[in-house]
Amino acid sequence: MNNNIQSQAVTKYIRLSTHKSRRVLKQITGKNCNEAQLILKFMPYRACKTIIKTLNSALNNISKENSNKIDTKRIMIKEAFANKGPKLKRFQPRAQGRAFPIQKPTCHITIKLEKK
């Protein structure tokens, strides 16, 4: 009998670059949820705020699937990754009527949890 319970949460079109999100997600992969929340709370990066929301959403998803009380100490982050989203294309005005293109990146953050 397989006793593993899994859940995931996806946050899409976040105005962060994938590179900056991945450096935070790499830190919490493989940790339990309580430890990951503590790490994210004290990290100085902007991506942490969004990742905490995604992690809480995944925790809520796991508790919705199972009506009984879930022990968060036993829930591990199985996978945490960021994929590229579409780029917002803008122009910055420059001297003598020129325009300089700006590409604002977006990303999709996915967190998968597993209870052993």
Write out the residue range of the structural domain in which residue 85 sits: 5-115
Residue 10 has what pLDDT?
Answer: 95
Q: What is the pLDDT of residues 16-75, one digit of tens each?
A: 999 999 999 999 999 999 999 999 999 999 999 999 999 999 998 887 776 666 777 888
The domain spanning residue 46 has which CATH number? 3.90.470.10
pLDDT confidence tier of residue 1, bands split at 50, 70 and 90: very low
Better-scored residue on pLDDT, 65 or 13: 13
pLDDT confidence tier of residue 2, bands split at 50, 70 and 90: low
How many alpha carbons fall within 13 Å on the CB side of residue 76?
9
d(CA 11, CA 93): 32
d(CA 52, CA 47): 9
Q: How many domains does the chain have?
A: 1
Instruction: Please give the structure tokens belonging to residue 109.
Output: 């953050």
- H/E stretch holding 39 reads helix 33-42
d(CA 62, CA 70): 8
